[in-house]
Amino acid sequence: MKFNNAAWISAPEGAQTCPLFKKQICLRGTVKKAELRATAMGMYRFFIDGKDVTDALFMPGWTDYVKRVQVQTYDVTRFFACCKEYAELSLLLGNGWASAEIFVGVVHPYIPRAAAIAELTLTYADGKKERFGTDKSWETWTNRCVYSELYMGETQDATLEPQRIGYAQETHVKAKLVPDEGEPVVEGEIVYPRALFTTPNGERVIDFGQNLAGYVRVKCRGPRGGKISFVPAEILDKDGNFYNGNYRNAANRCTYTLSGGEDEFKPVFSFQGFRYIRIDEYFSEDIDLSCFNAIAVHSDIKRTGRFVCGNEKINQLYSNIIWGQRSNYIDVPTDCPQRDERLGWTGDAQVFCRTAAINFDVHKFFRKWLHDLILDQHKNGSVESVIPIVKGIPFYPASGWSDAVTICPWEIYLAYGDKQLLSECYPAMCKWIEYIKNEENGSYIWNAGFHFGDWLATDAPYGSFSGATDTSLIDTAFYAYSLSIVIKAGNVLGKDTSGYRALQEKVVDAFRRKFIENGLPKGKPAVCGSSEQSTCYTQTALSLILHFGLGEEKDRKRQTDALVELIAQNGMRMTTGFLGTPYILHSLSENGRDDIAYSLLLQEKAPSWLFSVNMGATTMWEHWDGINEKGEVWNKDMNSFNHYAYGAVFDWIFGKAVGIQPLLPAYERVRICPHPDARLHFTDMAFDTRYGTLRAKWTFLPDGIQYEYEIPEGACAEIILPDGKKYEVSKGNYVFFTK
């Protein structure tokens, strides 16, 4: 993509963080059509005669700006509807992702000073065209948005009289410009404040009742020069005091100076993750709660899944999963929205991908991110554990993280049937296998390099980040899993997969020899918080072995019994971290132990999903006991209360409890194989597929279980009920009953 008549511009030295560029233009006649193209190495908003034409937030979105920058095209004809002779074009520029502080202290990762480029093309009534592009004739002005940084927050001063401080500087930016392909980031749900209270420390705090990513909008009237300043938090500490220690270096402060008239403030280029705000400055003694609203901000993904069951705590867990996704799908799939991180961590993205595609339509969202991932893959096939790559910080490839390159395209293919995207990703998937192959160097056991392992599992001593599971077991398990996906994808695309099949056999064979003895994993069984040394005998190892099919068929029963025993020894609780948790319930259900799977789902003592629900969580926690029973935080540096990874449990609820599995991509053909359990009383799922809404419900009645299904037109289903009876159905409504 090219601009015909525009140059990249940035602010002169010494300008405020968010400069406003302005240009008056003369119009030659009646405008028939007006089209604007704009982008930035930073973030921008564009105005015509002071009216904001940018219909989404945080434009141009986050890509690896070194490799590609998205350009937005807007039809702005309506802004020229009345005949006028002049118009004022202006562009507000912020540091955004490209030029802000990203991660721990990495400043200006992609460009030292933010820059923008824009071009307005007018087509007059006589057919003649005229182009107005950014260049050094655009003036630079101060404006009320005095300071803005993603992590640091925003300062706006409504008393500030805009001043011209010179002209824009033309700057050279080497960037490949591509058409916008992501889902725009938009304002979503509005959350009204629930309470204003004073903490034991004497601080005034507003509770919005829901943890979310977005910002607070303040609408107020007060004395000119009066101030409002606040910082966010996700939790209160054990004494009920405001706690934001887990934000690390992200100051997240919003400070607004009032004009004296009616004011409305909200950040332009910053967002926060929060449930509470602490008001540090307020222009009058009494705080008017009605001035404050929280606005959720997320990619404009359409809700596709709705679930309710007969257990209120599970319903709350589901709500937490939905809010976790909303909060972390902000142009790229991120880990968390609050601390100095908010990065495209591939591990988090892959474990949650299937759940994400049940909850919302994430096809377009992932297509963009997968294109980033493909572009960011290194020549030797390695994929970093954060995508888009943040220039200046190498996030090395890691098993279970970088495998997002195989797992996500496959999940997205299954959900939406996009063969084109799968074929675009296929070469990258194969290159990733080549990378691992080089690393394992003929041993078929992958143990080279740094790996996160079973991140935040609780079978290692309290406080450590990596769980007890032997990392090379995890690495090799994911090697085999990625290979199995490449084989499936290759088969769909008509590729010769014989080489991968042979390799997978060798990897599985080597895995068995290295990690399994007499059908069970080698080493000492690990229990919660006790394993000083890594071992192969953990809940995560057994879950991977069972779910990825890495053991011998004859040993399945023994392995399942061993997993159940480990769970029982741990007080019917999990010890799994990021890489075991998504699979543990599946491994149990797939091997006849729904009873234990449900017990884990419904467990209320940590580590468990319902522990955080009982502690009042409204989003998913990063750590199983981010706050323990005594109300203490487990760790200051790694303790997000809005991390969706463990929300991946919903793909078990959907796929096993409700029992919907795609047999053909896009749910054209499904298997419905419910695993009902009286402890949930009923489950009721409505799921919008590409063919229409699929409904599935089971209910425990006094004399048996009733099943109700609705299959949309164009789709068909194989229904297998717990009594073993099988039905082939197509469009229509069906009711069944089992004793």
As measured in angstroms, the least distance from the Cβ of 191 to ligand BGC is 24
Rg (CA), the chain: 27
As measured in angstroms, the least distance from the Cβ of 456 to ligand BGC is 8
Neighbours of 701 (CB within 10 A): 10
Answer yes or no whether residue 46 interacts with ligand BGC by CB under 6 A: no
Answer yes or no whether residue 541 interacts with ligand BGC by CB under 6 A: no
Q: What is the dihedral of CA 598, 603, 606, 611, to 10 degrees?
A: 110
Q: What is the DSSP letter of 124?
A: E
Classify 571 in phi/psi space as left (phi over 0), alpha (psi -120 to 50) or beta: left
> Which of these segments, 20-28, 206-214, 341-349, 363-371, binds ligand BGC (CB under 6 A)?
341-349
- Pair 288, 263: CB distance under 8 Å: no
- Residue nearer to ligand BGC on the CB measure, 336 or 445: 336
Q: What is the footprint of ligand BGC within residues 454-473 (CB under 6 A)?
A: 455
Closest CA to 668 of 660, 679, 677, 658: 660
- Residue nearer to ligand BGC on the CB measure, 336 or 433: 336
Pairing status of strand 716-720 against strand 669-672 = parallel
Give the separation between CA 112 and CA 126, rounded to whole angstroms: 44
Q: What is the footprint of ligand BGC within residues 152-171 (CB under 6 A)?
A: none
> Which of these segments, 33-41, 105-113, 333-341, 479-487, binds ligand BGC (CB under 6 A)?
333-341
Report how far apart the first and last C-alpha atoms of the chain are (Å, whole number). 64
Query: What SS3 string covers 357-397?
Result: HHHEECHHHHHHHHHHHHHHCCCCCCCCCECCCCCCCCCCC
- Residue nearer to ligand BGC on the CB measure, 335 or 459: 335
As measured in angstroms, the least distance from the Cβ of 318 to ligand BGC is 21
As measured in angstroms, the least distance from the Cβ of 341 to ligand BGC is 5
As measured in angstroms, the least distance from the Cβ of 342 to ligand BGC is 9
Answer yes or no whether residue 577 interacts with ligand BGC by CB under 6 A: no
- Residue nearer to ligand BGC on the CB measure, 18 or 620: 620
As measured in angstroms, the least distance from the Cβ of 97 to ligand BGC is 17
What Cα–Cα distance (Å) separates residue 132 from each residue in 4, 23, 120, 128? 10, 9, 5, 14
- Residue nearer to ligand BGC on the CB measure, 361 or 475: 475
- Residue nearer to ligand BGC on the CB measure, 54 or 399: 399
Among 79, 452, 646, 698, binds ligand BGC (CB under 6 A): 452
As measured in angstroms, the least distance from the Cβ of 152 to ligand BGC is 19
Q: What is the footprint of ligand BGC within residues 642-661 (CB under 6 A)?
A: 643
As measured in angstroms, the least distance from the Cβ of 343 to ligand BGC is 7
As measured in angstroms, the least distance from the Cβ of 393 to ligand BGC is 12
Q: What is the footprint of ligand BGC within residues 610-649 (CB under 6 A)?
A: 643
Answer yes or no whether residue 345 interacts with ligand BGC by CB under 6 A: yes
Which residue sits closest to ligand BGC, CB atoms considered? 335
As measured in angstroms, the least distance from the Cβ of 272 to ligand BGC is 17
Answer yes or no whether residue 341 interacts with ligand BGC by CB under 6 A: yes
> Which of these segments, 181-189, 345-353, 540-548, 656-664, binds ligand BGC (CB under 6 A)?
345-353
Give the separation between CA 495 and CA 487, rounded to whole angstroms: 9
Q: Tokens 């079978």 — which residue? A: 459
- Residue nearer to ligand BGC on the CB measure, 90 or 642: 642
> Which of these segments, 272-280, 340-348, 376-384, 560-568, binds ligand BGC (CB under 6 A)?
340-348
Phi, psi of 53, rounded to the nearest 5 degrees = -100, -10
Give the separation between CA 173 and CA 433, rounded to whole angstroms: 35
- Residue nearer to ligand BGC on the CB measure, 345 or 365: 345
Q: Which helix (H) or strand (E) holds 692?
A: strand 692-701
Pairing status of strand 682-689 against strand 305-309 = antiparallel
- Residue nearer to ligand BGC on the CB measure, 447 or 635: 635
Give the separation between CA 25 and CA 582, rounded to whole angstroms: 57
Give the count of alpha carbons within 13 A of 220, CB side only: 28
As measured in angstroms, the least distance from the Cβ of 352 to ligand BGC is 10
As measured in angstroms, the least distance from the Cβ of 648 to ligand BGC is 12
Answer yes or no whether residue 336 interacts with ligand BGC by CB under 6 A: yes
As measured in angstroms, the least distance from the Cβ of 386 to ligand BGC is 8
Give the separation between CA 664 and CA 83, rounded to whole angstroms: 56
* Number of shown-chain residues binding ligand BGC (CB under 6 A): 9
Among 347, 467, 607, 712, binds ligand BGC (CB under 6 A): 347
Give the separation between CA 722 and CA 180, rounded to whole angstroms: 48
Give the separation between CA 657 and CA 368, rounded to whole angstroms: 32
Answer yes or no whether residue 475 interacts with ligand BGC by CB under 6 A: no
> Which of these segments, 57-65, 288-296, 342-350, 509-517, binds ligand BGC (CB under 6 A)?
342-350
- Pair 70, 61: CB distance under 8 Å: yes
As measured in angstroms, the least distance from the Cβ of 208 to ligand BGC is 23
- How long is the chain? 739
- Pair 431, 484: CB distance under 8 Å: no
The beta strands (E) that lie in 62-198 are given as: 69-75, 86-94, 101-102, 106-107, 115-124, 129-133, 139-141, 145-149, 153-157, 164-167, 169-170, 177-179, 185-191, 195-198
- Residues of this chain that interact with ligand BGC (CB under 6 A) are 335-336, 341, 345, 347-348, 452, 455, 643
